[in-house]
Amino acid sequence: MKHVLKHVAVMLGAEPKKPVAEDYSPEAKAMHAEQRADKSRIEAIHLELAHKAQHKTPEKWRRRRWAVLIAVNLLFVVSFQLDIQILEGALTASRFVGFHMADLNSALQVMLAYKEVVINLMIGTTTVLIMWWLLGGRTFCSWVCPYHLLAEWAEMAHDYLAKKKIVKDHPFDRRVRTVFWIVFAVLAFVTGYTVFETISPTGILSRALIYGPGIAMVWVVTLLLFEIFYSKRAWCRYACPIGLTYGLVGAVSPLKVTYNLSTCFHEAECKKVCEVPHVLDVVIKGRATDVDLFIGADCTHCGRCVDACPTHSLNLEFKGLGQIFK
Amino acid sequence: MATVKRTLRGKQKARRKFLRTVVLGVGVIGVSLLGYIPVVKRWRERIRPPGALQEQEFLASCIKCGQCVQVCPVNAIKLADLDEGFGIGAPYIDTREQACDFSCDGLQCVLACPTGALTHEINYSHQTDMAIARVVDEPQCLAVMGKGFKGQARGAAFKGKLRYEDVDRWNPIRISEYPYDLELCDLCVRQCPIEIRIAQCETGKPPSGDENQCPPQHAIKLETIASEDGIVRKRPVILDGCVGCGVCEMICPPEPAVIVMDGAESRGVVA
pLDDT at B269: 41
Residue B143 lies in a domain: yes
Per DSSP (E only), the strands in chain B are 77-79, 91-93, 132-135, 149-151, 161-162, 173-174, 180-182, 220-225, 233-238, 259-262
Percent with pLDDT over 70 in chain B: 95
Do A138 and A243 touch, CB atoms closer than 8 A? yes
pLDDT at A24: 92
Pairwise CA distance, residues A302 & A279, whole Å:
13
Residue B23 in any domain: the answer is no
List the single residue in A with minimal CA-CA distance to B38.
Answer: A198
Mean pLDDT of chain B: 91
H/E stretch holding A257: strand A255-260
**Residue A94: strand pairing partners:** A89, A101
Q: Kindly list the averaged pLDDT for each block of 10 residues, start to end, along chain A of length 326.
A: 86 91 91 86 79 80 96 96 92 94 96 93 95 95 97 97 96 97 97 96 97 96 98 97 96 93 90 94 92 93 93 89 68
pTM: 0.92
Q: Is residue B34 part of a domain?
A: no
How close is the nearest chain A Cα to the Cα of B90, in Å? 10
* Amino acid at residue number B74: V
Enumerate residues 6+ apart whose C-beta is below 8 A from B85: A198, B34, B35, B36, B37, B38, B39
Structure confidence at residue B95 (pLDDT):
95
Within-domain flag for B11: no
- CB within 8 Å of chain B, chain A residues 208-237: 210-211, 214-216, 218-219, 234
Classify the C-alpha dihedral A59-A62-A66-A67 as positive or negative. positive
Residues B146-176 pLDDT 10s: 999 999 999 999 999 999 989 998 899 999 9
Binary contact (B114, A124; C-beta < 8 A): yes
For B47, which DSSP code? B
Report if residue B136 sits inside a domain.
Answer: yes
Q: pLDDT tier at B67 (50, 70, 90 boundaries)? A: very high
Show Cβ contacts of residue B10 under 8 Å, excluding neighbours closer than 6 positions: none
How far B241 CA sits from the closest chain A CA (Å)?
A: 29
Residue B270 predicted with pLDDT over 50: no
Q: Which of residues 108-137 of A touch B (CB under 8 A)?
A: 110, 113-116, 118, 120-121, 124
Question: Chain B interface residues facing chain A, Cβ-Cβ under 8 Å?
Answer: 17-18, 20-21, 24-25, 28-29, 31-33, 35-36, 39, 56-57, 59-67, 69-71, 78-79, 81-83, 85-86, 88-89, 112, 114-116, 120
Smallest Cα–Cα separation from B127: which of B267, B222, B249, B263?
B267
Q: What is the pLDDT of residue B42?
A: 83
Q: What is the DSSP letter of B146?
A: T
Position B6 in a domain: no
pLDDT digits (tens, 9 = 90+) for B8-51: 788 999 999 999 999 999 999 999 999 999 998 888 889 999 99
In a domain, B232, yes or no: yes
Choose the closest CB to A239 out of B28, B57, B59.
B28
Contact A88, B65 (CB under 8 A): no
Which residue segment(s) compose the domain that B204 sits in? 46-266
Average pLDDT over residues B204-212: 88
Rounded Cα distance between A115 and A108, Å, is 10
Q: A256 vs A65, A292, A320, B78, B198, CA distance in Å?
A: 15, 12, 11, 41, 62
Residue B2 has pLDDT above 70, yes or no: no
Distances (CA, A) of B36 to A196, B40, B41, B56, B88: 12, 6, 8, 12, 11
Pairing of β A87-90 and β A93-96: antiparallel
Better pLDDT: B197 or B7: B197
So what's the pLDDT on residue B271? 33
Nearest to A107 among B56, B63, B71 (CB): B63
Of B20, B35, B112, the CB nearest to A198: B35
- B7 within a domain of the structure (yes/no): no
Total structural domains in chain B?
1
CA distances to A89, A262, B69 from B89, in Å: 12, 51, 11
Cα–Cα dist A161/A179, whole Å:
30
